[in-house]
Structure 1
């Protein structure tokens, strides 16, 4: 018991340290008095009532590309969501409904037929056709296009225009993720002729996408902003833009963007990690903060194939030694919910009671030092170091790693922290050389609103399966191809229990969207489906 208490004291000392540094750069260092709860999360904010002119909105960094098939990241998806629409529509509450396809049928397990909406035009006035849709979706099928979203179409055999306004998708086998995929980035539709004319320039400042959404791209000034203007010919009267334009800036420094938001110089920003100045925003009389429901989670991604961290007992021990409540309170300033799985509750869009029961049955997110010590002893008390990579410029990364390091040291593990510059951190996801010597690295992650998608990386050959953990590969495939929701939920629950038990990726926190809006406006989408839904269409002046 003395040893147990000493471990708690060690961890508590780190928490105290983090609590005093979590808000460095502005605002109070005190975490909020109440714990964030899923019931506290919103999906929308009150719609604006009048044109607010050009809305000045900040992105966390400048997009690398505005080619939709290369858009699986925050700034890119945020910029595209108001302009380039998907075949289906992902709503703020994570439901899926008609979009550019007004209806669809599934005449047999291997066939989907989509009826394209009549009367829709691109910004240049050309009509939307089935050829545009088939071409756009088909770009995901060709690896030569360099897209990031092809895994969502891995079970698609062909996509064909079978009529002027009819598209037929033939499947190699059924896929439960198809509809969700067609309502998000993989389903974005661009004008075929404009895209082909652009060639290698497509999605760059030299040739922006031609799409159908409520805002149209007007220009991209590298290093400064992306400009969008209202599409007054937009087809959906319910989502016609209230305000006349958007200016998307790229202020990467959090303290600068927080200052601009709290002073009213910026109209808004979505944060997927809490800025150091979150309390400054919360207390500002020029801005408001809304916590939005979310598919985003904070995780320690396993990358080790050898060494201590390749042993599931060591991964489980480190997970058990970590105080997630302290992490949420100190590092995340209360803007996080301790996680037991990789599938947030927002993904439970079918069979929610089944998923909730399975989640409740997962091991507790609370620390258990005695069990952690036992697992380390059972694994032979390894002395080789475990190296964690963190993004060097991020206080959240560094403080999370410090807490994990202290937790590991408290149970006899040697945790090393490697700081990687922000401009190089993305290489960890795509370059094995960048991961050399790295056992795990911190990341936010999100997908589509189905729990299956939270575990698709654990299939053989998946580009995100960095540690080559494939103990549930067959079950993931089985779940994706299961068309009965109840049966699919059962498979997912079983594979989830295995993944979490082995801590293939370590679940840390469920992260709400942190939506900041200046007090002159209202109407932005609050949920993380802002990444796929026209989140600015309802923004306008307050009533």
Structure 2
């Protein structure tokens, strides 16, 4: 399987997963307390039961006789350690801002755990299904190798080169996984990735460009799977640096984004218009009726003149690592030039983009994978102290609404709160989100059982335990 990215930053630590190759690797090796179905509803995994009367105190009963790859048995102590390590700053967990809502985690016997939250949150079962919260062995700190209780044991891990997983004969799901071995590699260039598929060098790829669909479908041996999703590539305007912190500049750049052109030309219609906030129309908390921001170069010119920034030369960093960002940057550059603004597009390689460029310049692009809940999206990318707060945007009202929505029992009020948060991000969140991109995977027809789980491509990153080979 060839993914869009692989680098020296590849990790076997679920807490540090940052790209889709990491997520696939982690779902291969580890298991979670819950897991997503095709409707993004959390189903039981290592948890045999997960219950709460007030959505603040949760009781989790574990399956018995589940083994880690080293032969040790899963117990409540492993779960306690796995959840609490996200709260420790030394772990450098990518979801620390989410885990901060966990007040305590304690073992109640050998196979039962109590999770107490700072305040009620009905989304805890969905949170626990995400890859970062997969369960590791109690005390695990050295992730140069891996010890999970997932469907595959890690035989080879060479960051930036490849990962090889071999079938776990003692997997807790009877009869699974079906394949003997899976090799993960990274091929950053999309054309090269498609060529590798069509020449049978690989059997499954992700992040297919819509322009490649016809070419792949002309092959009798291959298929393309489209999954509607909340994936987006966004223009990041740092709110803690000049000149992008100027509100007029941020508003002007959003008015220069030609969303319809991006939807049709870049994604061949395999995308849905977005409105500068991260909640897709398929999300139950999506706010209908928010006026769609229009492409308006004249208004952008007025705002830039008022800010004294019309003639400023500003670099924008784009990379194939952020899907569509290079073409988006070119379209934005042309729109800017039409009003006398000078944008210099710096195309940088995929390798190292996320560690060396993303969020490190006033103007960059991000590429945000779908998340199962509105709370997770907002907590990970817009909460003031979130590690992945791309634009450095800080808004006390937003943070207060985020906390309040988690514990709101009245569903109508909760929906209103999420709507208010969408308005705040739309107005000043420091990002421009033009479209929600359909996930496009391509695969060899002999690979059976492959389907859609809209948390991400590659069957929500969990294809490994679900597919089989019909050679």
Q: Same fold (TM over 0.5)?
A: yes
Greater share of residues in helix: 1
Trace 1:106-117 onto structure 2 (pairs within 5 A). 106-117=52-63
Q: Give the direction of change, closer, same or farther, for the CA distance of 1:533–1:514 in structure 2 (3 Å limit).
A: closer
Trace 1:311-350 onto structure 2 (pairs within 5 A). 311-345=246-280, 348=283
Asked if 1:285 corresponds to 2:220, the answer is: yes
Equivalent pair of 2:86/2:96 in contact (CA under 8 Å):
yes
Trace 1:474-485 onto structure 2 (pairs within 5 A). 474-485=400-411
Please list every run of 5 or more consecutive structure 1 residues that lacks an aligned counterpart in the other structure: 1-56
Equivalent pair of 2:391/2:431 in contact (CA under 8 Å):
no
1:150 — aligned with what?
Answer: 96
CA RMSD of aligned residues (A): 2.9
Asked if 1:506 corresponds to 2:450, the answer is: no
Equivalent pair of 1:264/1:287 in contact (CA under 8 Å):
no
1:267 Cα deviation (Å)?
Answer: 0.9
**TM-score normalised to structure 1 length:** 0.77
Residue 511 of structure 1 aligns to a residue whose secondary structure is strand
Q: Give the direction of change, closer, same or farther, for the CA distance of 1:83–1:394 in structure 2 (3 Å limit).
A: closer
Q: Give the direction of change, closer, same or farther, for the CA distance of 1:465–1:245 in structure 2 (3 Å limit).
A: closer
1:452 — aligned with what?
Answer: 375
Equivalent pair of 2:358/2:365 in contact (CA under 8 Å):
no
- Which structure would you say has the larger RCO, counting Cα contacts within 8 Å and 6 or more residues apart? 1
Residue 464 of structure 2 aligns to a residue whose secondary structure is coil
Partners of 1:249 and 1:310 lie apart in 2 by 38
1:465 — aligned with what?
Answer: 389
2:351 — aligned with what?
Answer: 423
Q: Give the direction of change, closer, same or farther, for the CA distance of 1:189–1:212 in structure 2 (3 Å limit).
A: same
Trace 1:355-366 onto structure 2 (pairs within 5 A). 355-356=285-286, 358=287, 360-366=288-294
1:76 Cα deviation (Å)?
Answer: 0.4
Question: Which of these two proteins has the greater Rg computed from alpha carbons?
Answer: 1
Trace 1:86-97 onto structure 2 (pairs within 5 A). 86-97=32-43
Residue 92 of structure 1 aligns to a residue whose secondary structure is coil
1:59 — aligned with what?
Answer: 3
Equivalent pair of 1:254/1:275 in contact (CA under 8 Å):
no
Partners of 1:347 and 1:112 lie apart in 2 by 28
1:77 Cα deviation (Å)?
Answer: 0.3
Trace 1:229-240 onto structure 2 (pairs within 5 A). 229-237=166-174, 240=176
Q: Give the direction of change, closer, same or farther, for the CA distance of 1:277–1:371 in structure 2 (3 Å limit).
A: same
Partners of 2:423 and 2:313 lie apart in 1 by 28
1:443 — aligned with what?
Answer: 366
Asked if 1:68 corresponds to 2:14, the answer is: yes
Please list every run of 5 or more consecutive structure 2 residues that lacks an aligned counterpart in the other structure: none
1:96 Cα deviation (Å)?
Answer: 0.9
Equivalent of 1:121 in 67, 87, 111 = 67
Partners of 1:176 and 1:139 lie apart in 2 by 22
2:87 — aligned with what?
Answer: 141
2:463 — aligned with what?
Answer: 535
Q: Deviations over 1:186-215 (max 9, x none)?
A: 32012226x3xxx43x1x2xx2x2222222
Equivalent pair of 1:339/1:508 in contact (CA under 8 Å):
yes
Equivalent pair of 1:429/1:464 in contact (CA under 8 Å):
no
Equivalent pair of 1:90/1:533 in contact (CA under 8 Å):
no
Equivalent pair of 1:276/1:395 in contact (CA under 8 Å):
no
**TM-score normalised to structure 2 length:** 0.88
Q: Give the direction of change, closer, same or farther, for the CA distance of 1:430–1:315 in structure 2 (3 Å limit).
A: closer
Equivalent pair of 1:88/1:187 in contact (CA under 8 Å):
no
2:27 — aligned with what?
Answer: 81
Q: Deviations over 1:339-374 (max 9, x none)?
A: 1243343762xxx2xx35x2x312325423454445
Equivalent of 2:193 in 248, 257, 263 = 257
Residue 240 of structure 2 aligns to a residue whose secondary structure is coil
Partners of 1:395 and 1:109 lie apart in 2 by 37
1:166 — aligned with what?
Answer: 112
Quick check: 282-291 or 467-476, which moved more? 467-476
